[in-house]
Amino acid sequence: MGKGHLDKIAVVTGAAGGIGQAFAKRLAQDGAHVVIADLNPATETVKLVEAAGRRAIACKCDVASPDSVAALAKDVELTFGRCDILINNAGIYPLKPFDEMTFADWRHVMSINLDAAFLTVSAFIPGMKQRGWGRIVNMSSSTVSTVVTHYAHYIASKGGVVGFTRALASEFGAYGITVNAISPSLTRSPGTLSRAPRFGRNSMDEEFAALAARQAIPRPEIPEDLVGAMSFLTSDDAAFMTGQTLYVDGGMVRV
């Protein structure tokens, strides 16, 4: 069980599957109750949380919609009375060359990957501030620090997440609230496996293998590789760590 997680209330966006589901499961194992915010059905994630002996609710939520996030916050308040831990995990990563990208493409990625973090933090940080304790973890990406093409909107959104994380850390550190980010590499999950491979690759397996060959740990990343960092950052042990971005990417990026 994680230090300081017992009976905390965690909200995890995009937790119906993939990385978010792994985060929800680990938080439950650490002792937290979990709110799953996702547009997709989250029955499996609820079962995983309950199997760990913790309470779970699934809220259908469009994280890019102010009204939907407001409804999520209301559900959390009515069910648990507060949010102690916020994990901004929901995100999209469509491939598109910049010269084919429209402003609508740009705004769609920004709305889910960056604007959504503004909305969820705005909804839950007043309560954290009032109680004098809070943990916020935002998901960035190692693509911010590597040579990757056809992701201008995605990389810009994830760079914005890093800046947003640093700004919030400065504003709320005096209130017992820490704000950090995790930057994974391409992670083998249902979402990434369902998309078309990058140009020049015949399959996602080939893309994963090529990327793994460039890492210090030469295997594809999986969601479970990220849960330890998330557990630490949301624990009491990380009370003096804020404004940081942890690269959990098999040694791809060195900072």
Domain ranges of the chain: 9-186+223-248
The per-residue pLDDT for range 41-58, each reduced to its tens digit, is: 999 999 999 999 999 999
The per-residue pLDDT for range 190-223, each reduced to its tens digit, is: 777 777 777 678 788 888 888 899 999 999 999 9
* 56-60: strand order across its sheet: 56-60, 33-38, 9-13, 85-88, 134-139, 177-184, 245-248
pLDDT of residue 202: 78
The per-residue pLDDT for range 152-202, each reduced to its tens digit, is: 999 999 999 999 999 999 999 999 999 999 999 989 887 777 777 776 787
Please determine, for residue 115, whether its predicted confidence score (pLDDT) is greater than 90.
yes
User: Which residue numbers are catalytic?
Assistant: 154
* CATH of 9-186+223-248 among 3.40.50.720, 3.40.50.300, 3.30.70.360, 3.40.50.12780: 3.40.50.720
Q: Say if strands 177-184 and 56-60 run parallel, antiparallel, or are unpaired.
A: unpaired
40's tokens: 């997709």
Q: Is 131 exposed, middle or buried (0-12, 13-18, 19+ CB in 10 A)?
A: middle
Q: How far apart are CA 253 and CA 145, in angstroms?
A: 7
Q: How far apart are CA 45 and CA 47, in angstroms?
A: 5
The whole-model pTM stands at 0.95
